[in-house]
């Protein structure tokens, strides 16, 4: 077997990466969060309090209300594939299948789709439906302390799917994990080990059982790296038949998400936007009554149609005056319908902010659907 190698993206591998991971590392995968509902209820689940066991849908950072949003976000982020996750996508199987078919119809058979699921809801009938919908790769998430359903992995061999197991590395469960690694030999095409991470939801319980972050800059759990190396060495020493990839928190945040943000920024940037090497966007913003203060993001998310339309109507009048006063061309401004505001170049706004009555700011944001702010610098005395 090949040697254990450090990759160029803050991870380790024993053999090649699977197709889904290759595209994910390049930032090409759309993240389809089908639902937060899941029967497994793993104690280490890292999803947010807002999403856990809630039947909500997100595609990347976009809360989905209509199916068209799935395609729009895939195009905006220049995705070549999608990863279906949750919760458990099988808990909302009809929705999962609908989105898979939608993406395959729009982008073709080469649009690569992988899916994560525990064994709880796995049946041959459900696997058949997923396969018929266009699933390319499935990643099972077995429980280490309960092998009762491990044999369900054999059901998937009837289908032409790439089969993987993906689990977090629990530092104190190395021997239990080895039993699983031996069991899946000859049954899977790849194994993904993920660095165990502390989240806001599981932090208190983690501390009770002795899990702490490895340093102040990371939410990766101390000992997870070392345990992963032990498990990879075990696979190599036992000559088990599958390749292994150890995915770190750094890879997920800096590489995978970073590359996805860069792709989206390049594709969606406005003519006057300044995009840095990390994909962050800097621009000028002119507001009316809805200002980016405490609670702004949640207010925008739950903004009623009537309030939104009134705000946009008033911004249109402001924009009309700005165009008349400064002769702004069509590519020099943008009326943001999602976050009601007028966007212009940061350089232009710095020059003219003192002359404008409305609140003005230079903002640095993620190039995501929600334009999540990193820094807001008000220019004309308001909120300073």
Structure tokens at 135: 């699933």
Choose which CATH entry (3.30.70.260, 3.40.50.300, 3.20.20.70, 3.40.50.10540) describes domain 4-264.
3.20.20.70
pLDDT tens, 188-216? 999 999 999 999 889 999 999 999 999 88
**Ranges of each domain in the chain:** 4-264, 271-378
Q: What is the pLDDT of residue 384?
A: 46
**pLDDT above 90 as % of the chain:** 92
17 pLDDT more than 80: yes
> What's the predicted TM-score (pTM) here?
0.94
382 pLDDT more than 80: no
The model's confidence at residue 380, banded by pLDDT at 50, 70 and 90, is confident
130 pLDDT more than 70: yes
- 384 Cβ contact list (under 8 Å, min separation 6): 378
Contact, 244 vs 332, CB < 8 A?
Answer: no
Lowest-pLDDT range of 24-33, 159-168, 301-310 = 301-310
pLDDT tens, 327-358? 999 999 999 999 999 999 999 999 999 999 99
Q: For the residues 75-84, what does the mean pLDDT come to?
A: 98
What sign for the dihedral angle of Cα 63, 68, 71, 72?
A: negative
Structure tokens at 3: 């040697």
Contact, 193 vs 247, CB < 8 A?
Answer: yes
Lowest-pLDDT range of 155-169, 255-269, 286-300, 304-318 = 286-300
Q: What is the pLDDT of residue 295?
A: 86
Query: Which residues are bridge partners to 14 per DSSP?
Result: 4, 244
Q: For the residues 104-116, what does the mean pLDDT come to?
A: 98
381 pLDDT more than 70: no
What are the DSSP calls for 24-77, one per residue? HHTT-EEEEEEES--SS--TT--S-TTTTT----EETTEEPSSTHHHHHHHHHT
Distance CA 337, CA 246 (A): 41
Q: For the residues 32-37, what does the mean pLDDT come to?
A: 98
Q: Is the peptide bond before 300 cis (omega within 30 degrees of 0)?
A: no
Work out the mean pLDDT of the chain and round it to a whole number: 95
Residue 335: strand, helix, or coil: strand
pLDDT tens, 218-232? 889 999 999 999 999
Which of 173, 91, 101, 169 is closest to 135 using CA atoms? Answer: 101
Q: What is the CA angle 96-257-77, rounded to 5?
A: 60
Q: For the residues 322-328, what does the mean pLDDT come to?
A: 96
Structure tokens at 211: 């899990």
Q: What is the pLDDT of residue 303?
A: 87
Q: For the residues 39-68, what does the mean pLDDT come to?
A: 94
Burial class for 151, CB neighbours closer than 10 Å (0-12, 13-18, 19+): exposed
């Amino acid at each position: 077997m090949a040697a254990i190698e450090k990759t160029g993206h803050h991870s380790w591998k024993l053999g090649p990466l699977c197709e889904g991971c290759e595209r994910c590392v390049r930032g090409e995968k759309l993240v389809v969060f089908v639902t937060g509902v899941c029967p497994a209820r793993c104690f280490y689940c890292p999803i947010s309090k807002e999403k856990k066991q809630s039947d909500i849908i997100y595609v990347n950072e976009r809360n989905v209300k209509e199916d068209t949003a799935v395609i729009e976000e895939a195009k905006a982020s220049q995705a070549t594939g999608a990863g279906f996750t949750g919760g458990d996508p099988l808990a909302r199987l009809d929705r999962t299948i609908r989105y898979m078919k939608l993406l395959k119809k729009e982008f073709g058979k080469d649009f690569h789709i992988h899916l994560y699921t525990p064994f709880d809801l796995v049946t041959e009938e459900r696997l058949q439906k997923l396969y018929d919908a266009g699933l390319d790769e499935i990643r099972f998430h077995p429980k280490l302390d309960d092998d009762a359903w491990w044999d369900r992995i054999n059901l998937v061999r009837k289908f032409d799917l790439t089969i993987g197991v993906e689990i977090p590395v629990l530092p104190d469960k190395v021997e239990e994990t080895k039993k699983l690694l031996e069991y899946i030999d000859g049954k899977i095409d790849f194994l993904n080990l993920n660095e165990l991470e502390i989240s806001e939801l599981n932090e208190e319980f983690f501390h009770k059982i002795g899990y702490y972050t490895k340093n102040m800059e990371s939410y990766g759990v101390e000992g997870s790296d070392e345990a992963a190396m032990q498990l990879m060495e075990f696979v190599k020493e036992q000559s088990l038949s599958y390749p292994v990839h150890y995915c770190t928190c750094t890879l997920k945040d800096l590489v995978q998400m970073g590359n996805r943000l860069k792709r989206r920024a390049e594709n969606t940037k406005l003519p006057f936007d300044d995009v840095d090497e990390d994909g962050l966007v800097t621009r000028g913003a002119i507001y009316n009554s809805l200002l980016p203060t405490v609670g702004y993001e949640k207010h925008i998310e739950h903004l009623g149609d009537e309030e939104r339309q009134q705000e946009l109507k008033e911004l249109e009048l402001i924009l009309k005056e700005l165009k008349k006063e400064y002769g702004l061309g069509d590519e020099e401004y943008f009326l943001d319908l999602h976050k009601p505001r007028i966007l212009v170049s940061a350089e232009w706004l710095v020059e003219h902010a003192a002359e404008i009555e409305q609140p003005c700011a230079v903002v640095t944001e993620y190039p995501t659907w929600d334009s999540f702010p990193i820094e807001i610098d008000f220019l004309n005395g308001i909120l300073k």
